Amino acid sequence: MKGKYLNFIFINLFFVAAVFFCIFTLLQGKAAQNFLVISIFTLVIFLFSLWHSLIKFGFKNAFFFLFIALFLSFAAEVIGVNLGYELQGYYKYSDFLGFKILDVPVLVILMWVSVIYISYQVSEHITDFRFEKNTTFLQKFWVSIWSAFLTALITVAWDIGLDPLAVNLGWWVWEKGGEYFGVPIGNFIGWMIISFIIVFIFKLFFEKEYLEKETVADYAPLICYTLLCFSTIFLALSQGSSLFAFIVFVSMFPIISIMIVRLLVIQLRLPRQYKK
């Protein structure tokens, strides 16, 4: 019970940070260049993801997820920045995003881990792919593939709007440009692969969640994903990029709509004890 209320404290913090970010970007066109605003926004999202994973999976499995996500995300960024991919070319981060490790900003890694975790929880709610106690390994294998694939789509649905916007803002630069508003298509393929691998490994080998009651706290990542959508839209609008705002809306809102429909169905169909 205590964990549920603490979870909502972090949701409220996230909400305040998101609203503050949106208002700031709307009132001042240069808000996107405010490092403090971006840092607060990123850290609050990461803290929420950390706390929610602890409540949902327990310390050991939460540690495994964060370790896998941090390691693979960081490794992908280091390779991309320092070695480059034949598929997508080279890119470099500007100094705006702050402290770097091997030329990769720490804020970028924290954001990727958070967005992948939130997308994973969204995919779990959409599919309701949680294991039963008698689920076989083969069943877990195929369920993990589908859940990881859906997570990858949900993750990239956000990135296809943010990445070109970030390039326009000068947060990072693609040296050879790309087909999609200056961003190589391979960038999105790469992050789909990374997101897929992270979730597939965790769900198949570490997740021990069984079918159980859904509490209000379980819906917190859905709120986060919705706020992430509208925050990115407001950021785009504040920079005069109505096209990118429209892209974010088109790519993310169908997912949000599916979440809302599923929540309504749950409330109508589940026995009373599942609605607590």
| The pLDDT of residue 265 is above 70 | yes
The model's confidence at residue 86, banded by pLDDT at 50, 70 and 90, is: very low
Model confidence at 19, in pLDDT bands (50, 70, 90)? Answer: low
What's the whole-number average pLDDT of the chain?
80
CA 66 to chain centroid, in Å, comes to 13
**Average confidence (pLDDT) over 109-122:** 93
Confidence (pLDDT) at 120: 93
Residue 251's pLDDT is 93
- Are the beta carbons of 99 and 105 closer than 8 angstroms? yes
Query: CA 31, 225, 194, 165 torsion: positive or negative?
Result: negative
Which pTM does this prediction carry? 0.86
- CA dihedral in degrees (170, 173, 178, 184; nearest 10)? -110
Q: Can you tell me whether residue 247 is helix, strand or coil?
A: helix
Asked if 124 and 203 count as a contact pair (C-beta separation under 8 A), the reply is no
pLDDT given at position 116: 95
pLDDT in tens, 198-246: 999 998 888 765 444 555 556 778 888 888 888 888 888 877 888 889 9
Measured distance CA(154)–CA(66) in Å, rounded: 18
Q: What is the mean pLDDT of residues 22-49?
A: 71
State pLDDT tens for residues 140-175.
888 889 999 999 999 999 999 888 888 888 888 887
CA distance linking residue 96 with residue 170, whole number of Å: 8
CA dihedral (29, 188, 74, 19) in degrees, to 10, reads: 30
156 vs 10, which has greater pLDDT? 156
Whole-angstrom distance, CA of residue 157 vs CA of residue 188 = 9
Work out the angle at residue 117's Cα, subtended by the Cα atoms of residues 116 and 118, and round it to the nearest 5 degrees: 95
Q: Are 166 and 173 in contact (CB under 8 A)?
A: no
Q: Are 92 and 169 in contact (CB under 8 A)?
A: no
